[in-house]
Amino acid sequence: MKDDFRGLPTEEASEATRDLDLLPTEEMLRRINDEDARVPEVVRRALPEIAVVTDAVAAAFGAGGRLHTFGAGTSGRLAVLDAVECRPTFGVPEDLVQGHIAGGMEALVRAVEGAEDDPLGGRAAVREADVTSSDVVIALSAGGRAPYCVGVLEEARARRAFTAAVTCNPDTPLHALAETVIEVPVGPEVIGGSTRMKAGTAQKLVLNMISTGAMVRTGRTLGNLMVALTATNAKLRARACRLVAQVTGLREGLEELLEAAAWDVRRACVMHVRKLSAEAAARELERHDGSLRRALITRR
């Protein structure tokens, strides 16, 4: 792989911010904001590819598979962030969505030099995650050429997992390895080469869509309601009460109902609407693959 990064859009200097250090603070921030505002439209143009990957993840979940996201530096931190937030938001097992960063968890809080440049490290990370043909593997690399991500996709392909890549440059090494490439060409950064900025924002938007979309497709929401949340603190328990009220119309006895349902919003809703015990409500949800909508409207 060539080490000359000249000519890559993510490495170029932005004409819009060449005089950034000479500007008054508010105007400097306006220039940054102007550049950030370009990102959502770029992501919108990639929606067809994002949809392909979202459907692949949903299908994997339905077949007992998992989602693994891999990246180095900012990309890896975003991968871990998205994965960690899936469990409390959607009530899924911790291993269903897994984020991996080059250099391991230490790299979340400090740079691990050389980790990005190690394709064998990428291969090893896929092996350590025990990726199978039932899983989806997404490699995130703003430049599209991180050797770690190349190794990730090579090993994932060898294991017959569905492979995807998210990159901000055209015609990268990852294009040749991934089944689906989500290309979000955000162009030069406000600070040349600082891909934690527009490129990082684009990757976060893409990850949000894939994980959220797959959870919606697999019944982890009711409309736009977070009915599968894990109520692990006071704020989330209060939200659970509001959710049960929204779904059922119940205004009193919400905490008692949720206590009986082990603070499971979906189970509490089925208990109240279908007049079932906690155990019977749990069986109904299991029968409908966790879908509250189907459990509420279906009768034996």
Asked whether residue 226 is domain-assigned, the answer is no
Secondary structure of 8-43 as H, E, C letters: CHHHCECHHHCCHHHCCHHHHHHHHHHHHCCHHHHH
Predicted local distance difference test score (pLDDT) of residue 13: 76
Predicted local distance difference test score (pLDDT) of residue 1: 44
Predicted local distance difference test score (pLDDT) of residue 34: 96
| CA–CA dist 175, 49 (Å, integer) | 13
Active site residue 259: no
Asked whether residue 4 is domain-assigned, the answer is no
Asked whether residue 100 is domain-assigned, the answer is yes
Predicted local distance difference test score (pLDDT) of residue 3: 56
- Answer yes or no: do 206 and 119 share one domain: yes
Work out how many domains the chain is built from and give that number: 2
Asked whether residue 278 is domain-assigned, the answer is yes
- Answer yes or no: do 201 and 245 share one domain: no
Beta-carbon contacts of 131 under 8 Å, excluding residues fewer than 6 positions away, are: 68, 137, 155, 156, 159, 161
Using DSSP, state whether 198 is helix, strand or coil: helix
Predicted local distance difference test score (pLDDT) of residue 112: 84
Ranges of residues in the chain whose predicted pLDDT is under 50 = 1-2
Residue 264 has a CB neighbour count (10 Å cut-off) of: 23
Asked whether residue 20 is domain-assigned, the answer is yes
- Answer yes or no: do 205 and 85 share one domain: yes
- Which of the residues 35, 49, 116, 155 is marked catalytic? 116
Contact 161, 138 (CB under 8 A): no
Asked whether residue 222 is domain-assigned, the answer is no
Active site residue 116: yes
Predicted local distance difference test score (pLDDT) of residue 81: 97
Supply the range of the domain harboring residue 50: 9-217
Contact 274, 300 (CB under 8 A): no
| CA–CA dist 5, 183 (Å, integer) | 18
DSSP state of 105: G
Does pTM surpass 0.75?
yes
- Which of the residues 11, 12, 85, 255 is marked catalytic? 85
| CA–CA dist 106, 87 (Å, integer) | 22
State phi, psi for 45 to the nearest 5 degrees.
-70, -20
Asked whether residue 3 is domain-assigned, the answer is no
Predicted local distance difference test score (pLDDT) of residue 2: 47
